[in-house]
Structure 1
């Protein structure tokens, strides 16, 4: 039976030191053979990790990294899968290149997991899991069953199963089996899926038993698991907890499913119609929970705008909609809920708040990597910083209003100011600006500040003969409102980014309109000021990085300007500005 494949311990634990230290009574020939094998193992490992010895003859592209050079002869000798793969075209023209998502279509195998797997194929030794990809950023976690620890072994399990290395399959199956009873039930899901995909019946049965005993609702099971597995769990529950199904109202359940299907279709108007016809409420169907877990941020915002849902309602597991959004790790959904009054301090029945939920799901690598490179922050870090910043905020703090002398000059000048401010935010802080604009429904801002200025000015002067003054004012006011919300969300959730933008807009924005005024020397100075924008933002990031080092992992400093990654975009922006 596949599940009971024994683990050949010698192939996993051979080292020269262990034999020498314990083998004083072993025959001399045996010790010499082990030492020779160990040296051979080290030499083969150099082929994998030493760039100067790169004589690989093929590339494999993992799910989240650059191509990895491999030696087809070694992989073919160790793995029946690769032997069959390479035999299809033994003498290809050019260097062969294989994509991991095509080799392992049912699961993800990232770079670190693939390198650990290759290390075993090359050396016969299984290295310890890298800390940066197998631990989370929750300081209270023992890292023995958090999501990063589980995901790393799941990736190795997929690789070992698909590439047909039975001793590793047996080893990782036992590791995952031990995770099941210690992990949170939502973290059991990836284990269940790899057991199902790899046909590990014993591991699958253990996962099903754990989920059956849990309080995971049937809707979650139907959305996350294959149909046959979800049905098996529900059938087991009816036998295990028959009282939970005795009083179920089939009409009520049918109405709830209709509401959920309407949300899946992004049809909030249909949701309103179903509510009026059935005399149900959004809270009865846990509709906001469902939207936060499975719908895009626009649908979540529309459901919130109905004003019919309790944003802090707890479901049967003690989860609020914010907890569901934290499990999903989407900044726009989290901000939408917070902006409507979601409590960031509410905890689940087992004592976790939204920030700790995010931290237990975030790899150390993902939390730190972008800050070190001074590039755009990833969504995991943004989610954690938003939630922790909200915890530190005053309970009744209100976002600051926009302060600028330009706002006293009327609707047109307000719009011109806001267009340029949001355009600069998109240039310097692209991810934060995107999130703020998405939840404010202000997604039509032009790409660069220079373009924004010229186009806004031109559009404001153009006359539409079919548009009355009242219609024009209404259109402009709608745009001003959307951009105002964008700026307010930025100030509340991304204060460091906003401070940089505030200083720039107050000090330099007037020059944007008067570059052609003054003497030639004055005009030259004004244009040079815009070319210093990169230095201004870099200084802000150096300050943020210093604060981050002093405050540790819980730093709330901004980490998301794509200074290096978007150099071409910045140069284009400067050219546009200098043309004004």
Structure 2
């Protein structure tokens, strides 16, 4: 467990109250020594604490008079308790801000209460529990640990982030004893955490005006090998300036690549980075032509993978001028940086361009282990509902693990199907239908494949997924009298190339589901449109085959789950999607 309730966490119930004297109980205990009076007071306070806790956990009787919306979830609170314990809430409720609802409750959005940063649902419940009871509960493992099996969870990013959220809440809502407690916890992280994980600690310390925490974090960052460009991007100017001052050491300057560069080269690299920030890859090419700086010397791919839009990364890759497996001064490849960002489309783009998933950092971390150390169990094990997107963290890990298990010598499967005719329209119809069924069976994975292939930017052909839009460009089979055959063929080929790339992505990263789709499209699609047509025997055979097809989908997902050694997309979801897809398709054909 990342944290446990410490003896010091059960602080005096009156210690944070701005309406009463927190030293009263201490004086009583000092005066009476071992007399039974303080024991009675402790018992009384403990009973009061337990009684107030019931207000939070009892669902039968709700006496709350306000809701605070956290991550879309309403948390019922009692204004009298919050106002008596927190000066922040005392002032807030006195101003009577909020939106009155029919039931009479006031509603407040957490995001409106915070000037910066965030406080998650679980962190707020822990904070609220202390405000009501004076006791600090252990942090929930599902949000304060990572999914890396070898991690001790004593300094991984979820553990740090949860403590950061609690310190932030304690500071903003003015519970000083909690601020002190979490400041101590964060101080313990600084020496053990990766330097990039110290950044959120430094940021919250700066905003909460914790000078001791700020000083130690700055010292750690200054002594690290974290490049100054990343520091400037991720920290307020005031903090990055302090780090730069501490680093102004001739010996240290030689050890840092960015500092060792001459001023002119550094200026040219900065221009390239600014062009990437502006999503202007054409300007990047112009800057490369005007100077002797290369993309690799500027670590342009590393920068884009960390800070730019995924499409910019794809465009930089398409230039073919950068080494996709280049390491920076810290030993991180571009894929390592993408794993730290946890952006699935960038990860897949890099893998398709030859990024090596098995490369490790100087401290033996692979891209997938980096990703796992950043992912909370709550996000990784979140259930995927039918038709809704799979959690992005889960997709990143699954794609990287799939690549690690993939045979690097195996050639890519081509698009070959007996159901495809030579005619361009027939090919497009086949591909549109195949991709459409993939989107019904496993929507998040199909969407990822389509994003990488830029399929969404091309107009749909009139297949199963064809749009009913009245826009003449929304359907490639509609006739545009002003369009020449050459232009039309160019559009058709562009769409077909995007769809073929989408199918290729699916076969590479989701092979078992792709096998089911192949068989479905080639053997079963025509017959299953018309389950009610034909003789009774023919109908019986079709229905039997439909049930077998559902079993095939179950088996495909079971294989995926077996390979990942954990739960995947639910088979019940996939089978129901299969049934819906056939019914929908038949309806369109009729």
TM over 0.5: yes
Bigger drift between 168-177 and 89-98 goes to 89-98
Q: Secondary structure at the match of 1:52?
A: coil
RMSD: 3.6
Q: Following TM superposition, by how much is the alpha carbon of 1:92 offset from its aligned partner in structure 2, in angstroms?
A: 7.7
Q: Following TM superposition, by how much is the alpha carbon of 1:410 offset from its aligned partner in structure 2, in angstroms?
A: 2.4
Matched, 1:380 2:381: no
Q: Following TM superposition, by how much is the alpha carbon of 1:502 offset from its aligned partner in structure 2, in angstroms?
A: 2.9
Bigger drift between 148-157 and 42-51 goes to 42-51
State the partner residue of 1:268. Answer: 281
Matched, 1:39 2:47: yes
Q: Which of residues 75, 80, 87 in structure 2 aligns to 1:73?
A: 80
Q: Following TM superposition, by how much is the alpha carbon of 1:462 offset from its aligned partner in structure 2, in angstroms?
A: 4.0
Flag structure 2 segments of 5+ consecutive residues without an equivalent.
Answer: 1-7, 16-32
State the partner residue of 2:587. Answer: 578
Listed as ranges, the matches of 1:140-539 within 5 Å are 140-239=150-249, 241-243=252-254, 244=256, 247-370=260-383, 376-443=389-456, 444=458, 450-452=464-466, 459=475, 461-511=477-527
Flag structure 1 segments of 5+ consecutive residues without an equivalent.
Answer: 1-6, 15-24
CA distance in 1 between partners of 2:474 and 2:234 (Å): 50
CA distance in 2 between partners of 1:193 and 1:348 (Å): 26
Q: Secondary structure at the match of 1:257?
A: helix
8 Å Cα contact 1:449-1:573 kept in structure 2: no
State the partner residue of 1:18. Answer: none
Task: Go from structure 1 to structure 2 and tell me whether the alpha carbon gap of 1:577 and 1:224 turns closer, same or farther (over 3 Å shift).
Answer: farther
CA distance in 2 between partners of 1:458 and 1:84 (Å): 55
8 Å Cα contact 1:497-1:558 kept in structure 2: no
State the partner residue of 1:19. Answer: none
After superposition, the C-alpha distances for 1:81-102 in whole angstroms (9 at most, x for unaligned) are 0011011129984311111111
Q: Secondary structure at the match of 2:67?
A: strand
After TM superposition, what 4+ stretches of structure 1 lie above 6 angstroms from structure 2? 453-458, 520-530, 535-539, 569-573
CA distance in 2 between partners of 1:393 and 1:13 (Å): 60
Q: Following TM superposition, by how much is the alpha carbon of 1:524 offset from its aligned partner in structure 2, in angstroms?
A: 8.6
Q: Following TM superposition, by how much is the alpha carbon of 1:56 offset from its aligned partner in structure 2, in angstroms?
A: 1.1
CA distance in 1 between partners of 2:55 and 2:73 (Å): 17
After superposition, the C-alpha distances for 1:466-523 in whole angstroms (9 at most, x for unaligned) are 44434333322221111000011011112343244334323432248x7599659799
Q: Secondary structure at the match of 1:60?
A: strand
CA distance in 1 between partners of 2:473 and 2:233 (Å): 49
Bigger drift between 206-215 and 400-409 goes to 400-409
CA distance in 2 between partners of 1:57 and 1:449 (Å): 54
8 Å Cα contact 1:268-1:303 kept in structure 2: yes
CA distance in 2 between partners of 1:473 and 1:441 (Å): 18
Count how many residue pairs are aligned between Structure 1 and Structure 2. 555
State the partner residue of 1:3. Answer: none
8 Å Cα contact 1:311-1:321 kept in structure 2: yes
Q: Following TM superposition, by how much is the alpha carbon of 1:170 offset from its aligned partner in structure 2, in angstroms?
A: 0.3
Q: Following TM superposition, by how much is the alpha carbon of 1:546 offset from its aligned partner in structure 2, in angstroms?
A: 9.2
Q: Following TM superposition, by how much is the alpha carbon of 1:316 offset from its aligned partner in structure 2, in angstroms?
A: 0.4
Taking structure 1 as the reference length, the TM-score comes to: 0.86
CA distance in 1 between partners of 2:490 and 2:558 (Å): 43
8 Å Cα contact 1:138-1:360 kept in structure 2: yes
Taking structure 2 as the reference length, the TM-score comes to: 0.85
Task: Go from structure 1 to structure 2 and tell me whether the alpha carbon gap of 1:412 and 1:390 turns closer, same or farther (over 3 Å shift).
Answer: same
State the partner residue of 1:89. Answer: 96
CA distance in 2 between partners of 1:79 and 1:447 (Å): 60
After superposition, the C-alpha distances for 1:382-427 in whole angstroms (9 at most, x for unaligned) are 1111111111111222332233212244221110011111122223
